[in-house]
């Protein structure tokens, strides 16, 4: 058994500017985003963490450094945000106006459609994220005394992974909320079956 405290990173400038799709673009937290990370730290301060992991992008790594209360952060490329292709740096309204067919294809079946036409499929995303968590389970899982890890990721990967593990159709991933620096808690049993215990706490 492993307990995972999953974070979305704190606010960035692009989140604040009409929620532009950041994807792989490496931009920092805003002052509000830093405050949000400290609020997460306050919620987690009594927790004994076995390990802190984060996406290699600055916004997630910085959030993990703060929320993990100074514990060393290990970055892992499997936790990087979805490659959104041509949608990067644009709001949903902007890129739908440019090419509505790409958004329609993603909405119908993101498992096989490439985000923004040139980015990742949702199936590729969930496979790499699941590979990370299965490895973490092998490394930290303990049936007798379950361990806690903190993982700072992104809106896209967090929701896609949760939807997939909960047996939802991947096209419904946006029905799961992951606000900036909010905490989601789930457990993984010895077979990597996920049980959702808390969603989007701030």
Burial bucket for residue 46 (CB in 10 Å: 0-12, 13-18, 19+) = exposed
CATH number of 2-201: 3.40.50.1240
Mean pLDDT across 71-84:
98
Q: Quote the mean pLDDT of the chain.
A: 97
Q: What is the pLDDT of residues 12-53, one digit of tens each?
A: 999 999 889 999 999 999 999 999 999 999 999 999 999 999
Q: Residue 81 catalytic?
A: yes
Q: What's the confidence (pLDDT) of residue 183?
A: 98
Q: Name 113's bridge partners.
A: none
Q: What's the confidence (pLDDT) of residue 143?
A: 84
Residue position matching structure tokens 């703060």: 66
Domain coordinates of the chain in residue numbers?
2-201
- Run of H or E including 197: strand 194-201
Radius of gyration of the chain (CA): 16
Largest Cα–Cα separation, the chain: 54
Which listed residue (9, 62, 140, 154) is catalytic?
9
Residue 75 C-beta-side C-alpha neighbours within 13 Å: 13
The pTM assigned to this predicted structure is 0.97
Which listed residue (62, 65, 81, 140) is catalytic?
81
DSSP 30: P
- Regarding predicted confidence, which is higher, 47 or 70? 47
Helix axes 155-165, 122-140, angle to 10 degrees: 80
Q: What's the confidence (pLDDT) of residue 192?
A: 97
Q: Is residue 174 pLDDT above 90, yes or no?
A: yes
Q: Find all residues with CB under 8 Å of 56, minimum gap 6, and list them.
A: 75, 76, 77, 79, 80
Q: What is the pLDDT of residues 105-162, one digit of tens each?
A: 999 999 999 999 999 999 999 999 999 999 999 999 988 899 999 999 999 999 999 9
Q: Residue 9 catalytic?
A: yes
d(CA 112, CA 97): 22
d(CA 35, CA 160): 26
Q: What's the confidence (pLDDT) of residue 18?
A: 87
Q: What is the pLDDT of residues 81-101, one digit of tens each?
A: 999 999 999 999 999 999 999
d(CA 117, CA 28): 26
Q: What's the confidence (pLDDT) of residue 91?
A: 96
Residue position matching structure tokens 């400038």: 13
d(CA 28, CA 13): 8
| β-strands 183-188, 147-153 pairing | unpaired
Please name the residue ranges forming H helices in the chain: 13-16, 31-44, 58-67, 92-98, 100-108, 122-140, 155-165
């Amino acid at each position: 058994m492993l307990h995972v405290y999953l974070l979305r990173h704190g606010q960035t400038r692009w989140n604040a500017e009409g929620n532009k799709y950041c994807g792989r673009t490496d931009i920092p937290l805003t002052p509000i985003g830093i405050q949000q990370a400290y609020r997460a730290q306050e919620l987690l301060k009594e927790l004994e963490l076995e390990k802190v992991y984060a996406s290699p992008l600055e916004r997630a790594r910085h959030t993990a450094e703060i929320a993990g209360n100074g514990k060393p952060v290990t970055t892992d490329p499997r936790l990087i945000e979805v490659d959104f292709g041509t949608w990067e740096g644009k709001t949903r309204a902007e890129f739908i106006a440019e090419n509505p067919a790409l958004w329609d294809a993603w909405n119908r079946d993101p498992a096989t459609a490439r985000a923004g036409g040139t980015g990742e499929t949702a199936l590729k995303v969930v496979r790499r994220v699941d590979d990370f968590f299965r490895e973490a389970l092998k490394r930290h899982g303990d049936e007798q005394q379950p361990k806690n890890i903190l993982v700072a990721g992104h809106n896209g990967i967090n929701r896609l992974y949760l939807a997939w593990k909960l047996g939802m159709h991947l096209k419904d991933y946006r029905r799961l909320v992951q606000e900036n620096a909010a905490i989601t808690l789930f457990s993984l049993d010895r077979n990597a079956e996920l049980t959702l215990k808390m969603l989007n706490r701030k």
